[in-house]
Amino acid sequence: MKTMHENFLRLRGSRTLAICLVVLGLASFSLLGQTQMDLAWDLVQAGKLKEAEAAYSEAIRHNPLNSQAYLQRAYVRSWQGFFQMAQTDFDKVLSENPQHVDARIGKAYTLAWSGNYTAAESEFLEAGKLENRPETRKGLGWVALWSGNTGLAVQRFTTYTADNPEDPEGFQGLGDAYLAEGNSAKARQAYQNALALDPAHGGALNGLAAARIAPGFVEISLVGGYSDAFGESGAGLRGAGVSIRPGGNMRFWLRYDNTLSLDNSLLLQREESAAGFMFGVSRSFADFGTTTLETGMRNLPGNLQENLIMAEQAFFLPAATVLKTGGLMISRSAGSPDFLLFSAVRRNYGKAFSLEPTFFAGWRNEGSFFDWRVLGVGEYRFSPTLSLVAGYGGGQQELAGGRESINTAHLTLNSRLMGRHQLFVTGRREAVGDSRITVAEVGLTLALERK
């Protein structure tokens, strides 16, 4: 029997040898690649996405033509938040096969998760033209919800759950849409439908917990308290308001503000009122932020009128961070207006604690008045229904006659009652030079559901 070496020498240089080597090489690479694919899938099921990504990359190295490895790596990268790299992999698969529905659906979700909702909708619609899968219609529901179009999201998920009554994720999406619209009663029903299909469904469990403590469609607020302002004290109604959430992440409110009447020593001494009425609106935009506008007026003693305009923009940033910036202008029927600018950064540290440093600067052109202060606020959440907020800060007030230091501190306990109504108790103390003001407040918000 000839040895393997002798056979190799006999076949060397022949066409047969070349074919044998190519076939053997391809088989080896295919076997190695398939081993890496199996390993990667096991890692995905174990939740080890980083290691799974490396295994898929190794499979691609063994076989650069392995489109399935590109597809799976794209999904794994997208799940980790590496959206641009995931899109590159999806585009690689689609360049070879533009009708690859799985790749198009994966790319659509990746675009949606990265905030590009218009492109995501187009990809889902294109995938739906290629093949009428339930996943494409469910994806369109998520895109509508994440882009802030809650009314359209409710319509899409309602249709989807009617056609696919066995999919708990569809009911979760419907619950999320109702919750964003302010209809917590219907949201709870949708989550319960999801849990009837899958009692351990994490999204539905979290959604049901959120729906039980969600604000109502209509909220009625009352705030009362006591103040000792520079030697003069008084107690009474400090504020009241009513707000409505009609859907679409919109909120409107009307409030009565009586704080100046109780926190100004001269007004307390004369028992005079400086109450005002404010009207406001806020709109939240998915993955962008919240815009708030408020305007109103109050009448001061001596037939003076103040007009107030406030604007605030909150920006949603990565790493659970929110940037807030805004301003307030108070114009008068006599004299120059007051201006106030503020900026804050709120950052969550885990699920229980958040920190929000804030800077304020206020001035009036007439009278050489300038006021600035820095305030640090921390919140600790003992549970979804109980939290403690503490703040401390300082600054300086500059008047025509000189400068005075400012020190301020406050402590607030927030508690939810019966699931959704809210009670808070606040204590605040502020010192401006040698003068002191102490305020104690108790507030209650009743949340009424839309039937």
Intervals of CATH 1.25.40.10 along the chain = 34-212
- Neighbour count for residue 4 (Cβ, 10 Å): 7
pLDDT of residue 356: 95
Domain at 218-448, CATH class: mainly beta
pLDDT of residue 17: 32
Helix 168-181, helix 184-197: angle, nearest 10:
170
Q: Which of helix, strand or coil describes residue 417? A: strand
Q: Residue 393: name the closest of 371, 410, 369 by CA.
A: 410
The answer to whether residues 424 and 412 touch, using CB atoms and an 8 Å cutoff, is: yes
pLDDT of residue 286: 63
Burial 282-295 (b: 16+ CB within 10 A, else e): bebebeebbebebe
Q: Strands, E, within 6-151: which ranges? A: none
Burial 91-121 (b: 16+ CB within 10 A, else e): ebbbeeeeebbbbbbbbbbbbbbbebbebbb
- The partner residues of 313 in beta bridges, in order of sequence, read 291, 325
pLDDT of residue 416: 83
The residue with tokens 């201006």 is 339
- Report residues of the chain scoring pLDDT below 50: 1-33
pLDDT of residue 317: 80
Asked if CATH classification 1.25.40.10 holds for the domain at 34-212, the reply, yes or no, is yes
Q: Which of helix, strand or coil describes residue 46? A: coil
Rounded Cα distance, 310 and 325, in Å: 11
Model pLDDT for residues 170-198, shown as the tens digit of each residue? 999 999 998 887 788 889 899 999 999 99
pLDDT of residue 34: 59
The answer to whether residues 304 and 269 touch, using CB atoms and an 8 Å cutoff, is: no
Q: Residue 176: name the closest of 196, 205, 198, 197 by CA.
A: 205
Q: Residue 425: name the closest of 405, 436, 403, 410 by CA.
A: 410
Intervals of CATH 2.40.160.40 along the chain = 218-448
The answer to whether residues 149 and 173 touch, using CB atoms and an 8 Å cutoff, is: no
Q: Residue 280: name the closest of 298, 295, 259, 297 by CA.
A: 295
Q: Which of helix, strand or coil describes residue 15? A: helix
- Neighbour count for residue 19 (Cβ, 10 Å): 10
Q: Residue 107: name the closest of 137, 85, 133, 129 by CA.
A: 85
Which helix (H) or strand (E) segment holds residue 333: the answer is none
Q: Is 284 left (phi over 0), alpha (psi -120 to 50) or beta?
A: beta
336: DSSP letter:
P
pLDDT of residue 319: 67
Rounded Cα distance, 328 and 302, in Å: 23
* Averaged pLDDT score across all residues of the chain: 84
Q: What amino acid is encoded at 326 in this protein?
A: G
Residues contacting 25, CB < 8 A, separation 6+: none
The answer to whether residues 358 and 374 touch, using CB atoms and an 8 Å cutoff, is: yes
Q: Which of helix, strand or coil describes residue 42? A: helix
Residue 165, Cβ density class (10 Å: 0-12 exposed, 13-18 middle, ≥19 buried)? exposed
